[in-house]
């Protein structure tokens, strides 16, 4: 079975303060000074890839695992880690100066281009990422490849070479489905969220393994809506702080702020 | 021009929850627009229920299997056949997925997670939240050939509708080969109790035992309980307990947050609260500014005493 996991490297937006949200030229917000991380839904996807590979071994099957990202050269650090975690292929599509934040069509097309040249049985993708909140790329890929599509995936297990047991969360209802490949799955709030850490030995062993490069083919026409403006949303309330601590603070909180409200409930 | 409003329902009782958003969407389109409904549900919904819930024409589509592609075929077929110029999917577990698949198939423009739509002379101007819900984006779509999925509904007021649809048509799904061999419901959605008080805990909690203790207290009192995403991802709470963009949204009279830092993605789940009280050891945590009142202290020094009062 050939498996492709697509992931995105994103800025940790929790590190930004309200003052950092300055909308610059080209409707950009500078996040270059905060640390980056693997998009949380994609991180689950990458770990699913490794776990499926472990399960396949137990079934005497082999999974050829690939991990692909679209981004600048900074993403190679993450791809090296994935090499050390024994992904068979790590691929970077260089986005250069092209702004992919609100371009799920372009991102999807780039993945489709790769998957058409390198046929896959299973493509795992996170359902959304923080910046663009597009919620679109897995569907674009599935539709353009003409494969099956499973949304809101929370767990995946190997059944045999052509079938998977997939658990989905459909608005709170949990379903178990037997799904035939080829298929694209979109990972939501998954049961596993952390990607394992490679050993130092594997880092040394696979550190120099090649990261494959794949070209980004840009198209003029996009179906995705065009962003006209961005504006920071101020969510602040009165923000009163009780000066006391411990039991005394609780007493003040109750007497001065909560008692009347609780009485009215 | 005609707009087709898609409502996916898991159960007949979910109909009432969709009415607010339906009403809001109706109010955005002037009377010249015909807004019809396409209800997809495996549940048994009576003609009378559908008539009383919506206006104009209602299509009732009952898919055979739980495969998003079956709904997709049904909606795309109806949109083309009856000349609809736009499709709006009301928020549901799969509305974003459905909208993008529809747009790709019809080659129409699309946008997901939309909060509001304004009609301009040449365009639709849609608002949506981006950057983890910290930033509002205004996005342009054409006036015709668009597919939109709406963001999670805020608040929980359910109004009893008083209207009568002109006609209800039952749509039959086409039987198509599915890549899903079998599908089985293994766990039904837990019924969340509705209370005026919500207690939310975050990654400031020191142990799973502490999370369990607060959950136990909340449930004993009949209060609603939830956690931030990192708490659930840590295995300290269930995924169905997540509050925020990737979980549930609440609008209680009082919301008490304990050890919550206050990411915007979490805050989306509590922002409809009338009054927010926060307990946090870090006076610089973003949640302090987003609360009405806060106690800056270790939660262990506070919660036991606080439970005596609320």
What mean pLDDT is predicted for residues A54-59? 96
What mean pLDDT is predicted for residues A221-232? 93
Q: Which of B160, B149, B198 is nearest to B49 (CA)?
A: B160
Write down the pLDDT at residue B68: 85
Q: Which of B183, B65, B306, B232 is nearest to A190 (CA)?
A: B232
What mean pLDDT is predicted for residues B51-68? 84
Write down the pLDDT at residue B266: 93
Top-confidence residue, B289 or B20? B289
CA distances from B38 to A150, B20, B58, B95, B200 (A): 22, 16, 6, 13, 36
Q: Measure in Å the smallest separation between the Cα of B25 and chain A Cα atoms.
A: 19
pLDDT class for B239, splitting at 50, 70, 90? confident
> What percentage of chain A exceeds 90 in pLDDT?
85
pLDDT class for B160, splitting at 50, 70, 90? low
Q: Which two tokens stand for residue B208?
A: 């799973």
Q: Does B186 contact A175 at a Cβ distance shorter than 8 Å?
A: yes
Write down the pLDDT at residue B201: 97
Write down the pLDDT at residue B181: 86
Q: Which two tokens stand for residue B88?
A: 């709006």
Write down the pLDDT at residue A31: 94
What mean pLDDT is predicted for residues A82-107? 94
Q: Does A149 contact B97 at a Cβ distance shorter than 8 Å?
A: yes
CATH architecture for the domain at B191-309? 3-Layer(aba) Sandwich (3.40)
From chain B, the residues in CB contact with A244 under 8 A are: 295
Of A191, A253, A262, the CB nearest to B295: A253
Checking if the pLDDT of A224 tops 80, the result is yes
pLDDT (tens digit, 9 = 90+) per residue, B114-134? Answer: 999 999 999 999 999 999 999
Q: Measure in Å the smallest separation between the Cα of A209 and chain B Cα atoms.
A: 32
Q: What is the dihedral of CA A21, A23, A28, A31, to 10 degrees?
A: -20
Top-confidence residue, A17 or A79? A79
In 3-state terms, what secondary structure has residue B91?
coil
From chain B, the residues in CB contact with A194 under 8 A are: 233
Which CATH code of 3.30.360.10, 3.40.50.620, 3.40.1360.10, 3.30.420.40 fits the domain covering B2-187?
Answer: 3.40.50.620
From chain A, the residues in CB contact with B40 under 8 A are: none
Write down the pLDDT at residue B162: 60
pLDDT (tens digit, 9 = 90+) per residue, B200-221? Answer: 999 999 999 999 999 999 999 9
pLDDT class for B245, splitting at 50, 70, 90? confident
Q: Does A239 contact B267 at a Cβ distance shorter than 8 Å?
A: no
pLDDT (tens digit, 9 = 90+) per residue, B248-263? Answer: 889 999 999 999 999 9
Write down the pLDDT at residue A120: 98
From chain A, the residues in CB contact with B131 under 8 A are: 13, 21, 29, 130-131, 133, 230
pLDDT class for B178, splitting at 50, 70, 90? confident
Q: Which of B288, B273, B249, B275 is nearest to B17 (CA)?
A: B249
From chain B, the residues in CB contact with A148 under 8 A are: 69, 178-180
pTM, two decimals, is 0.91
What mean pLDDT is predicted for residues B52-79? 86
* Helix intervals (H) in chain B: 15-28, 47-53, 68-81, 95-106, 208-221, 229-233, 264-267, 286-289, 303-309
A194: nearest CA partner in chain B: B233
Top-confidence residue, B309 or B279? B279
Q: Does A136 contact B141 at a Cβ distance shorter than 8 Å?
A: no
Give the lowest-confidence range in A32-36, B39-43, B147-151, B219-223.
B39-43
Write down the pLDDT at residue B157: 52
pLDDT class for B246, splitting at 50, 70, 90? confident
Q: Which of B124, B163, B277 is nearest to A242 (CA)?
A: B277
Domain boundaries, chain B: 2-187, 191-309
Top-confidence residue, A117 or B189? A117
pLDDT class for B154, splitting at 50, 70, 90? low
What mean pLDDT is predicted for residues B83-100? 93
B178: nearest CA partner in chain A: A148
Write down the pLDDT at residue A25: 81
Q: Measure in Å the smallest separation between the Cα of A38 and chain B Cα atoms.
A: 15
pLDDT class for B63, splitting at 50, 70, 90? confident
Q: Does B109 contact A224 at a Cβ distance shorter than 8 Å?
A: yes
Domain boundaries, chain A: 2-223, 235-265
From chain A, the residues in CB contact with B307 under 8 A are: none
Q: Does A229 contact B137 at a Cβ distance shorter than 8 Å?
A: yes
Of B138, B292, B297, the CB nearest to A246: B297
> With b meaning 16 or more CB within 10 Å and e meaning fewer, what string describes A216-252?
beeeeebbbbebeebebbebebeeeebeeeeeebbeb
Mutation choice for B interface testing from A23, A122, A123, A136 by most B CBs within 10 A: A136
Superfamily of structural domain A2-223: HUPs (3.40.50.620)
Q: Provide the mean pLDDT of chain B.
A: 89
Q: Measure in Å the smallest separation between the Cα of B291 and chain A Cα atoms.
A: 5
What mean pLDDT is predicted for residues B79-96? 93
Write down the pLDDT at residue B192: 66
> What percentage of chain B exceeds 90 in pLDDT?
58
Q: Which of B266, B274, B20, B39 is nearest to B132 (CA)?
A: B266
pLDDT class for B175, splitting at 50, 70, 90? low
Q: Does B302 contact A131 at a Cβ distance shorter than 8 Å?
A: no
Sort strands A163-170 and A148-160 into parallel, antiparallel or unpaired.
Answer: antiparallel
Q: Where on the phi/psi map is residue A256: left (φ > 0), alpha (ψ -120 to 50), or beta?
A: alpha
From chain A, the residues in CB contact with B276 under 8 A are: 237
Give the lowest-confidence range in A31-45, A160-174, B115-129, B145-159.
B145-159
pLDDT class for B275, splitting at 50, 70, 90? very high
What mean pLDDT is predicted for residues A68-94? 96
Q: For residue A259, report the phi and psi dihedrals to the nearest 5 degrees.
A: -50, -50
**Cα–Cα distance, A37 to A27 (Å, whole number):** 23
In 3-state terms, what secondary structure has residue A85?
coil
Of B125, B136, B309, the CB nearest to A231: B136
| Gap between the terminal Cα atoms of chain B | 53
Q: Measure in Å the smallest separation between the Cα of A239 and chain B Cα atoms.
A: 4
Distinct helix (H) and strand (E) counts, chain A: 7, 15
Mutation choice for B interface testing from A133, A148, A155, A179 by most B CBs within 10 A: A133
Checking if the pLDDT of B16 tops 80, the result is no
Q: Is B106 exposed, middle or buried (0-12, 13-18, 19+ CB in 10 A)?
A: buried
Complex-level ipTM = 0.92
pLDDT class for B32, splitting at 50, 70, 90? confident
pLDDT (tens digit, 9 = 90+) per residue, A120-166? Answer: 999 999 999 999 999 999 999 999 999 999 999 999 999 999 999 99
pLDDT class for B38, splitting at 50, 70, 90? very high
Q: Are B195 and B310 in contact (CB under 8 A)?
A: no
Number of A/B CB contacts below 8 angstroms equals 269
Mutation choice for B interface testing from A155, A172, A175, A265 by most B CBs within 10 A: A172
């Amino acid at each position: 079975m050939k498996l492709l996991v697509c992931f995105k490297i994103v800025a940790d937006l929790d590190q930004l303060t309200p003052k950092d949200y300055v909308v610059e030229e080209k409707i950009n917000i500078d996040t270059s000074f905060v640390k980056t991380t693997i998009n949380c839904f994609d991180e689950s996807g990458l770990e699913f890839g490794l776990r499926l590979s472990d399960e396949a071994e137990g079934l005497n099957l082999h999974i050829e695992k690939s991990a692909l990202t679209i981004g600048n050269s900074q993403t190679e650090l993450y791809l090296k880690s994935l090499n050390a975690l024994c992904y068979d292929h790590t691929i970077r599509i260089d986005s250069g100066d092209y702004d992919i934040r609100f371009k799920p069509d372009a991102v999807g097309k780039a993945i489709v281009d790769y998957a058409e040249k390198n046929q896959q049985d299973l493509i795992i993708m996170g359902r959304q990422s923080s910046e663009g909140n597009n919620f679109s790329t897995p569907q674009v890929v599935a539709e353009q490849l003409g494969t099956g599509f499973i949304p809101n995936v929370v767990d995946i297990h190997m059944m045999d070479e052509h079938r998977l047991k997939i658990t989905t969360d459909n608005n709170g209802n949990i379903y178990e489905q037997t799904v035939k490949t080829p298929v694209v799955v979109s990972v939501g709030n998954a049961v596993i969220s952390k990607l394992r850490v490679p050993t130092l030995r594997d880092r040394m062993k696979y550190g120099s393994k090649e990261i494959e490069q794949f070209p980004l083919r840009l198209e003029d026409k996009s179906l995705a809506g065009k962003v006209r403006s961005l504006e920071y949303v101020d969510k602040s309330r009165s923000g009163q702080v009780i000066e006391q601590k411990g039991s005394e603070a609780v007493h003040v909180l109750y007497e001065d702020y909560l008692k009347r409200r609780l009485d009215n409930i | 021009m005609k707009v087709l409003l898609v409502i996916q329902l898991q159960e007949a009782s979910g109909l009432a929850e969709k009415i607010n958003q339906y009403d809001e969407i109706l109010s955005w389109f002037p009377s010249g627009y015909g807004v019809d409904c396409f209800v997809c549900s495996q549940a048994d919904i009576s003609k009378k229920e559908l008539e009383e819930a919506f206006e104009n024409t209602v299509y009732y589509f009952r898919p055979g299997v739980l495969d998003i592609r079956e709904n997709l075929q049904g909606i795309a077929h109806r949109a083309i056949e009856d000349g609809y110029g736009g499709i709006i999917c009301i928020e549901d577990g799969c509305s974003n997925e459905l909208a993008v698949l529809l747009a790709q198939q019809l080659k129409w423009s699309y946008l997901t997670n939309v909060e509001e739509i304004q009609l301009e002379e040449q365009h639709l101007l849609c608002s949506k939240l981006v950057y983890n819900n910290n930033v509002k984006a205004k996005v342009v779509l054409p006036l015709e050939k668009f597919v939109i999925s709406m963001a999670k509904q805020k608040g929980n007021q359910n109004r009893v509708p008083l209207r009568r649809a002109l006609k209800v048509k039952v749509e039959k799904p086409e039987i198509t080969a599915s890549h899903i061999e079998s599908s089985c419901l293994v766990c039904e959605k837990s019924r969340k109790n509705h209370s005026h008080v919500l207690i939310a805990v975050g990654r400031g909690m020191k142990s799973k035992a502490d999370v369990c203790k607060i959950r136990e207290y909340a449930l004993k009192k009949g209060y609603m309980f939830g956690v931030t995403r990192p708490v659930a991802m840590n295995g300290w709470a269930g995924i169905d307990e997540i509050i925020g963009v990737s979980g549930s949204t609440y609008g209680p009279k009082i919301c008490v947050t304990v050890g919550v830092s206050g990411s915007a993605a979490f805050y989306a789940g509590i922002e409809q609260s009338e009054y927010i009280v926060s307990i946090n050891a870090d006076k610089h945590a973003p949640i302090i500014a987003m609360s009405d009142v806060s106690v800056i202290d270790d939660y262990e020094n506070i919660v036991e005493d606080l439970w005596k009062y609320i």
